[in-house]
Amino acid sequence: MSAADNTPNNPTHGAPAGAAPEPSRRGFLRMGVNAVAGAAALAAALSPLRDLDPDDAPSLEEFFQKHYKEMSAEEKQAALARIAEQVRRRFKLPADRAVNVQDPPPMDGVEFVYALNVSRCIGCRKCVHACAKENNTSRSPEIQYIRVLQMQKGSIDVETSEHHYDPIKIPDHQAYYLPVQCHQCAKPPCVKVCPTEATWQEPDGITVIDYDWCIGCRYCEAACPYWARRFNFGKPQIPADELNLDMAYLSNRPRSKGVMEKCTFCLHRTRRGRMPACVEVCPTGSRKFGNVLDPDSEVAYILRHKRVFVFKEEVGTLPRFFYYFDERGSRYHEPIEVFEPGEST
Amino acid sequence: MDKPGHRLTLLPVDRGTVRAVIVSLVLFALAGMLWADLWRFTSPVEPRTRVPAWATDIATVRQPSLRPEIEIVGFTYRCSTCHRLFPPRPTTGRTLTQHRDIVLKHGINDRCLNCHHPENREAFVDDKGSEISYDQPQLLCAKCHGPVYRDWTHGVHGRTNGYWDAAFGPVERKLCTACHDPHVPPFPPMRPAPGPNTLRMGDQRRFHARHEEQENPLLIYQRPTSRDELDEKEHE
Amino acid sequence: MRRYFAFLWDCARLSFVGDWRYHGWMTVLTLITLVGVYAYCHQLVYGLVTTGMTDQVSWGAYIANFTYLVGLAAAAAMLVIPVYVYRNMHLHDVVIFGELLAIAVIIMCLLFVMVDLGRPDRFLHLLQRFNFPMSMLTWDVIALNGYLLLNLHICGYLVYMAYCGREPSKVFYVPFVFVAIVWAVSIHTVTAFLYVGLGGRPFWNSAIIAPRFLASAFAAGPALIILTLQIVRRCTSHRVRDDALLTLRRIVQVAMLINMFLLGCELFTEFYTDSAHTASARYLYFGLSGRGALVPWIWTAIVFDSLAMIILLLPASRGLTLLNLACVLAIVGIWIEKGMGLIVPAFVPTPLGEIVEYMPTWHEIMVCLGIWAFGLLLYTIMVRITIPVLSGQVRARGRHDQNELKAAHATRT
């Protein structure tokens, strides 16, 4: 029954039966009160926005900023200056701390490849923390690009791995360690699925993200077979005294909430010839990095001479991250058995 | 419905108005509750994990001086300070009376003079008896550890710090003794740095389901040996 | 043009008029919507940390509801096919309700995607750099918005023509209806392909996902329409014949049978193979390493779906009580198995074998309920407008009608 209860006998032809009749003062007042109440409720519903941090709202320049690949050199310079200013403001840096935001281009004739010696990794996780410090990742909520897996001896199945090991001493002799980070795949599924092309692969092999373009849909995070991509669910918190102020647009400048990030092989270092932070801190020297196109590089030697395998090769993403193993391994507590000729083993 | 004129003096209490008033009151009540932030957001984010300073320190586990020196009771002496006073003994294999704090657990290499030069204690000895300088330990280790040395020269064994591209800066290859104590070379076990504590991770104590261990063929077929049990005790 | 504005104005006024049940319903929906807006504002301020999602389970209730609703939208085509392709006139008068439901539901889908974005202020970036055809999300954007525009056109045209008292010209809506049939199937296929194409998630990387989506959509959608048509019959003057309901029952029956068969196929493939790739299925149905939050949900869904299937096979379900029960069971069961039972398990365990469970937070639930309420609000308004217009009760006022009105006013006051 849709008949209105007021003035049912409206004889005017063509007027909608059950529609509001000719306006009366009472009807107008009713409508008014309801409208005011509705508006008040809507305003109250929107009230949490009063806590919105003005830094979180994009500035006009940021809103109209083009995609990284479309920016001219001047626009890039303007963006870098804006970012430096934002970092200074956000972390309340004193004037004497130099903020350096650059945009190093990829080097010609360079394709970066990473190799990790599974025989030598002891699972100490220094790489995890050095990376977090170098790349200004959030400390709370915690974001770490590298995840070290303690794998059971004899199994490459990650279902049997342990991420949260914390023994008194590592290495655990019943395990081996597999640190995983972004493999900068040659056929990256994350690049394939990004709807706005906010992530792409650069000529030197690094898959990068334009943090000012990403819409935060997290499709890339679902697509990555190596669980290498991270999302800023909350506003990233970094203590100002631990900030690394040598930054690049595409790698370690502080991000906002709601965007993706991941390992970029420290391109702010590596595109200037330096080693990534994880390589420099590894106590056993298990991590190897370099230009695979250079036949004299460490990584080219490894790929030629070592027993190399690719993690989850079957997904077909052609990673640029290779695990290898060589003689002996993390079993130094065992005495070397001497083989006497003539003795049966 | 009553004629409008009749009831103008009293409050308008027809059903339509009552309904409108109820709706308005409800909306105002909601507005009040929302404005007061009745369902405010409490952050589940945990405070950051304390990361010890050593976890991000790029220093190697040892910082060898690469000089033929020894520290005794706070003073540093060059090896020749004592060893030029004593003639080298022809016999070897005797028990040490000095340097008894040095434990030699170098596998089957149990003779000091395999590495140290018999005449000049400020140098090492190579295959043919010539001297190897104290700051070139890798030439010494290469005597026996050929494949590892070969890998080291190509940058594949041991750590490289600094630059991967020599055109931009020094490629710092770490020497053997920066990681390996020459007398007890195995890399010392250490405590791991803090593990992950990500957002809303939940309780991650390892649920050792029988199921998963049965999925690992190696573990199904291995039987623990007595040596393994000894090792377990050592690692307690 | 003026008449079009008059039409819009009449629609707006009409949506505020109704009896106490109508106003009560609309008020409740408005309240829930406003609470949803409030929760979403918290999300805008603090970020997606207000939800239960994590890096390990990075899609949750929002995408689950989105997936389910895309299916419901596609199911509107299930009303259109019998009428326009097979000339089954039982459903002729109720096709419009399916199309209107499709509009409301698609808007809900788009809202669920918007609330899931980390930076919704940047959604215009989609217009500037569009990774078509590689990214399935771009296909989804085109499919959903196109479907919305198609249905808006079809319904808007038919209703506006009725408002003007004119016979709708077939060339302006019949071709669009046929396109909408194909498009409806494609929106759900494209949504399925979002998940299917990911090699890193073996739970999703299966060819059966797309057919299962369609089968479950064509079970849940007409089931919902059966229920809404009975409400329309009860609350408005529009006549809904039992034949229409029975034809829809037949559709739900067959679709549910196919859905259960496909479920059987999936279960066999996962559990007979029992390889490491089936860890997500083991987590969903039996729990993994002591963690099994989803286990009661999925078994409830299977029980509901099976009961619905059995009830629908009984001739007694021609009676409305049993039919309604079966519909409710189907709707809820399919919501669970398609929403939480499909999206969340693919993230557990993670590609690195970690198990982090997912639980939606109150803020997340409030936003979901808010969007559902908003969709129902839209649907109610659309039905409220359409029925009087189509039945001829509400017509455009011609010029001389206007003068008559003015004269009538003058005499009264």
Interface predicted TM-score of the whole assembly (ipTM), two decimals:
0.91
Instruction: Choose among B159, B198, B231: nearest Cβ to A142.
Output: B198
**Smallest CA–CA separation between B120 and chain A, in Å?**
31
What pLDDT is stored for residue A8 in this prediction? Answer: 36
C399 vs B167, more confident: B167
Q: Which domain holds residue B88?
A: 62-178
- Amino acid code (one letter) for A281: V
Mutant choice from B37, B106, B156, B225 vs A, greatest count of A C-beta within 10 A: B156
Interchain pair C388, A143: CB under 8 A? no
Domain ranges of chain C: 25-393
In chain C, the residue whose alpha carbon lies closest to the alpha carbon of B215 is: C276
Judge whether A283 and B179 are in contact, CB under 8 Å.
yes
Q: Give all chains having 3 or more CB-to-CB distances under 8 Å with chain B.
A: A, C
Interchain pair A48, B37: CB under 8 A? yes
Per-residue pLDDT at B211 exceeds 70 = no
What pLDDT is stored for residue C410 in this prediction? Answer: 59
Instruction: Choose among B45, B60, B193: nearest Cβ to A128.
Output: B193
Q: CA dist B152 to B115, B127, B173, B177, C404, Å?
A: 19, 20, 8, 13, 101
* Percent of chain A clearing pLDDT 70 (strictly above): 88
Q: Does A281 touch chain B (CB under 8 A)?
A: yes
The single-letter DSSP state of residue A274 is B
Judge whether C220 and C214 are in contact, CB under 8 Å.
no
DSSP SS3 for A225? coil
- Cβ under 8 Å to B: C residues 238-277: 276
HSE (side-chain half, CA atoms, 13 Å) at B139: 14
What pLDDT is stored for residue A116 in this prediction? Answer: 97
Query: Pairing relation of β-strands A321-325 and A112-117?
Result: parallel
Predicted model pTM: 0.90
Interchain pair A169, B195: CB under 8 A? no
Instruction: Give the residue carrying structure tokens 């295959």.
Output: B127
Neighbours of A237 (CB within 10 A): 13
Judge whether C48 and C358 are in contact, CB under 8 Å.
no
What pLDDT is stored for residue A24 in this prediction? Answer: 77
Which of these, A87, A103, A76, lies nearest to A251 by C-alpha position?
A103
- Amino acid code (one letter) for B217: P
**Smallest CA–CA separation between A284 and chain B, in Å?**
7
In chain C, the residue whose alpha carbon lies closest to the alpha carbon of A230 is: C55
Q: How many CB pairs under 8 A join A and B?
A: 248
What pLDDT is stored for residue A286 in this prediction? Answer: 95
Neighbours of A342 (CB within 10 A): 5
Instruction: Choose among B23, B201, B211: nearest Cβ to C356.
Output: B201
Q: Would B92 be classed as within a structural domain? A: yes
Strand partners, B109: B106
Q: Which residues contact C159 (CB under 8 A, 6 or more apart)?
A: C96, C385, C386, C389, C390
- Give the 3-state secondary structure of C251-317: HHHHHHHHHHHHHHHHHHHHHHHCCHHHHHHHHHHHCECCECCCHHHHHHHHHHHHHHHHHHHCHHH
Judge whether A163 and A149 are in contact, CB under 8 Å.
yes
- Cβ under 8 Å to C: A residues 174-233: 180, 189, 192-198, 213-219, 221-227, 230-233
In chain C, the residue whose alpha carbon lies closest to the alpha carbon of A20 is: C17
**Smallest CA–CA separation between C356 and chain B, in Å?**
6
Interchain pair B198, C363: CB under 8 A? no
How high does pLDDT run on average in chain A?
A: 88
DSSP SS3 for A309? strand
Chain C residues close to A159, C-beta within 8 Å: 276, 279, 349, 353
CA–CA dist B180, B184 (Å, integer): 7
Chain A residues close to C404, C-beta within 8 Å: 12-14
Q: Average of pLDDT values for B140-148?
A: 93
Q: Average of pLDDT values for A200-221?
A: 97
**Smallest CA–CA separation between B124 and chain C, in Å?**
48
Strand partners, A121: none
The sign of the torsion formed by the CA atoms of A119, A125, A130, A136 equals positive
Backbone angles phi, psi at A191, to 5 degrees: -70, -35
CA–CA dist C290, C332 (Å, integer): 27
- Give the 3-state secondary structure of chain B: CCCCCCCCCCCCCCHHHHHHHHHHHHHHHHHHHHHCCCCCCCCCCCCCCCCCHHHHCCCCCCCCCCCCEEEECCEEEEHHHHHCCCCCCCCCCCCCCCCCCCCCCECCECCHHHCECCCCCCEEECCCCCEEECCCHHHHHCCCCHHHHHHHHCCCCCCEEEECCCCCCCEEECCHHHCCCCCCCCCCCECCCCCCCCCCCCCCCCCCCHHHHHCCHHHHHCCCCHHHHHHHHHCC
In chain A, the residue whose alpha carbon lies closest to the alpha carbon of B36 is: A44
Instruction: State the CATH number of the domain containing residue A177.
Output: 3.30.70.20
Instruction: Choose among A17, A22, A225: nearest Cβ to C393.
Output: A17
Judge whether A299 and A91 are in contact, CB under 8 Å.
no
Residue pLDDT, tens place only, B92-111: 666 777 888 888 888 888 88
Interchain pair C130, A196: CB under 8 A? yes
CA–CA dist A229, C200 (Å, integer): 13
In chain B, the residue whose alpha carbon lies closest to the alpha carbon of A164 is: B195
Residues listed for chain B: 236
Per-residue pLDDT at B212 exceeds 90 = no
Per-residue pLDDT at B234 exceeds 60 = no
pLDDT averaged per 10 residues in sequence order, chain C, 413 residues: 85 86 93 96 96 96 96 83 78 84 96 96 93 94 95 92 88 90 93 94 94 94 93 86 90 95 95 88 91 94 97 93 96 94 95 94 97 97 90 71 56 52
| Tokens read off for B54 | 């050593």
What pLDDT is stored for residue B5 in this prediction? Answer: 47
Q: Would B30 be classed as within a structural domain? A: no
Per-residue pLDDT at A36 exceeds 50 = yes
Number of domains comprising chain B: 1
Q: Would B13 be classed as within a structural domain? A: no
Mutant choice from C15, C20, C45, C411 vs A, greatest count of A C-beta within 10 A: C45
Chain B residues close to C22, C-beta within 8 Å: none
Q: Does C23 touch chain B (CB under 8 A)?
A: yes
Residue pLDDT, tens place only, C282-297: 999 999 888 899 999 9
Number of domains comprising chain A: 1
Q: Which residues contact A88 (CB under 8 A, 6 or more apart)?
A: A99
Q: Give all chains having 3 or more CB-to-CB distances under 8 Å with chain C.
A: A, B
Chain A residues close to C394, C-beta within 8 Å: 16-17, 19
Which of these, B174, B155, B171, lies nearest to B163 by C-alpha position?
B171
Judge whether C314 and C324 are in contact, CB under 8 Å.
no
Strand partners, B125: B131
Interchain pair C130, A195: CB under 8 A? yes
Chain B residues close to A285, C-beta within 8 Å: 157-160, 174, 179
- DSSP string across C78-143: HHHIIIIIS--GGGGGGHHHHHHHHHHHHHHHHHHHHHH-S-GGGTTHHHHS--TTT-HHHHHHHH
Q: Would A13 be classed as within a structural domain? A: no
B215 vs A2, more confident: B215
Instruction: Choose among A4, A158, A213: nearest Cβ to C352.
Output: A158
Q: Would B24 be classed as within a structural domain? A: no
Q: Which domain holds residue A221?
A: 124-264
The single-letter DSSP state of residue A255 is P
In angstroms, how far is the first alpha carbon of chain C from the final one?
31
Query: Pairing relation of β-strands B131-133 and B123-125?
Result: antiparallel
Interchain pair B212, A160: CB under 8 A? yes
User: Which of A214-223, B129-138, C205-214, C387-396 bottoms out in mean pLDDT, i.e. has the lowest?
Assistant: C387-396
Judge whether C237 and C273 are in contact, CB under 8 Å.
no
Chain B residues close to A5, C-beta within 8 Å: 14-16
DSSP SS3 for C152? helix
| Tokens read off for B128 | 């043919």
A180 vs B204, more confident: A180
| Tokens read off for B191 | 């405590």
Q: Would A322 be classed as within a structural domain? A: no
Residue pLDDT, tens place only, C340-398: 899 999 999 999 999 999 999 999 999 999 999 999 999 999 999 998 888 888 787 76
In chain C, the residue whose alpha carbon lies closest to the alpha carbon of B34 is: C38
Q: Which helix (H) or strand (E) holds A2?
A: none
Chain C residues close to A38, C-beta within 8 Å: 30
| Tokens read off for A159 | 């279902």
